[in-house]
Amino acid sequence: MNKDSFSAAALPTLAAAHFLDDTDISTGELKTLLELATAVKQAPADYRRSLVGRSIALLFEKPSLRTRMTFELAALQLGAGAVFQDHRGERIGEREPARDIARNLDRWFDAIVARTFSHQTLEELARWSSAPVINALSGSSHPCQALADFQTIGERFGELEGLKIAYIGDGNNVAHSLLLCAARLGVSFTFSGARGFEPDSATMRRAAELAAVGGATIAVEPEAQAAVRGAAVVYTDTWTSMGWEQETQQRRIAFADYQVTDELMAAARPDAVFMHCLPALRGQEVSDSVIESDRSVVFDQAENRLHAQKALLLMLLAGR
């Protein structure tokens, strides 16, 4: 679909009632969403009244800069309103059951955006909410980040199919979402990290099945230099995700050989870019020189969180 096909009066929609996992949307819907994100970025004024009168609830159990800010700003710029509820001190379901929270919120709001420790919390909200529930990060996945990342990669290289991502470090929620999106977009994915910290085996198997359809490959390569050969994207994330702080020292030792440095970037394609979902611990998973280099697109990724999430909100709500 050409971006010129989109208009505020005829926006594409998603078949799924909620967006909890990357595979809740089809490959075709994923590609359309990325195209819409580009259209929204290029002509934001064309969509500024698309969600007038709509309201969005944000429930966050974990800290956030990019996700919270970009969802609130996306709502504002599309004409909707957003209300934030801080659950960092009291998790969803502790004061009252998640099913009761969901049935209150869906009487007032048109969508619920939730950032949770447990993915089961998202599933419980979705089970009891008639309003769409959006995964703003859970312990198992970060699908909104992956949308912005592939928008960014597409901007840089023009086409996605045939590219390779080398992911260095911890096989965490971000890695899971990148795996599942890459596999469906024809992008090969090689993971390189310490033994015992690989992505979830079921996610790896599912990604391999999806990749086989489009001719991409999914691989694990323990040696980082070998993993980045031929890569258009070298991606890393913090070694210790939120909720795993008790393992910080153990992980620093385990991942000592997996820092993204100028030397490692030199082993990738000459035009390879560096990506990180942020926040970054400079001097740990990535050197300061890499994240500040011309090859770094980390702030392009952050910007595209706004545009990709606008496209997601439009496709979930415009037709409802």
Q: What is the pLDDT of residues 54-94, one digit of tens each?
A: 999 999 999 999 999 999 999 999 999 999 999 988 899 99
The residue annotated as part of the active site, out of 68, 115, 176, 251, is 115
Cβ(183)–Cβ(216) below 8 Å:
yes
Digit-coded pLDDT (tens) for 126-177: 999 999 999 999 999 999 999 999 999 999 999 999 999 999 999 999 999 9
Residue pointed to by tokens 């099945």 = 209
Per-residue H/E/C for 121-145: HHHHHHHHCCCCEEECCCCCCCHHH
Residue 319: what pLDDT? 73
The residue annotated as part of the active site, out of 68, 142, 206, 251, is 142
Residue 5: what pLDDT? 60
Digit-coded pLDDT (tens) for 305-319: 999 999 999 999 987
Three-state secondary-structure class, residue 47:
helix
Give whole-number Cα distances, 94 to 68, 90, 109, 121, 259, in Å. 22, 7, 21, 11, 38
Judging by DSSP bridges, how do beta strands 164-168 and 233-236 pair with one another?
Answer: parallel
Residue 8: what pLDDT? 56
Residue 246: what pLDDT? 86
The residue annotated as part of the active site, out of 277, 284, 301, 307, is 277
Residue 241: what pLDDT? 84
Residue 201: what pLDDT? 96
Q: Is the dihedral of CA 296, 300, 301, 303 positive or negative?
A: positive
Encoding tokens for residue 202? Answer: 């079921």
Residue 9: what pLDDT? 57
Give whole-number Cα distances, 131 to 17, 107, 176, in Å. 8, 9, 26
Closest by CA position to 170, among listed 251, 250, 242, 64:
251
CATH class of segment(s) 3-141+303-317: alpha beta
DSSP designation for 69:
H
The residue annotated as part of the active site, out of 145, 151, 301, 309, is 145
In angstroms, the CA 134 to CA 125 distance is: 10
307 in catalytic set: no
Mean pLDDT of 94-111: 96
Residue 177: what pLDDT? 98
Cβ(92)–Cβ(98) below 8 Å:
yes
Residue 4: what pLDDT? 53
142 in catalytic set: yes
In angstroms, the CA 168 to CA 103 distance is: 41
Residue 7: what pLDDT? 64
Dihedral in degrees, nearest 10, Cα atoms 264, 266, 270, 271: 40
Cβ(308)–Cβ(33) below 8 Å:
yes
The residue annotated as part of the active site, out of 21, 22, 149, 237, is 237
Beta strands in the chain (DSSP E): 55-60, 81-86, 111-115, 133-135, 164-168, 188-192, 218-220, 233-236, 273-276
Q: Furthest-apart CA pair in the chain: how many Å?
A: 55
The residue annotated as part of the active site, out of 184, 276, 305, 307, is 305
Give whole-number Cα distances, 126 to 52, 100, 196, 308, in Å. 24, 12, 32, 21
In angstroms, the CA 290 to CA 277 distance is: 14
237 in catalytic set: yes
Average predicted confidence (pLDDT) for the chain = 95
Mean pLDDT of 216-239: 98
In angstroms, the CA 319 to CA 207 distance is: 30
Mean pLDDT of 238-245: 84
Residue 92: what pLDDT? 94
- In percent, the amount of the chain with pLDDT more than 90 equals 92
Q: Where are the domains of the chain?
A: 3-141+303-317, 145-301
> Which CATH architecture best describes the domain 145-301?
3-Layer(aba) Sandwich (3.40)
Residue 89: what pLDDT? 81
Residue 278: what pLDDT? 98
Digit-coded pLDDT (tens) for 17-42: 999 999 999 999 999 999 999 999 99
145 in catalytic set: yes
Residue 277 binned pLDDT confidence (cut-offs 50, 70, 90) = very high
> Is it true that 3-141+303-317 and 145-301 share their CATH fold?
yes
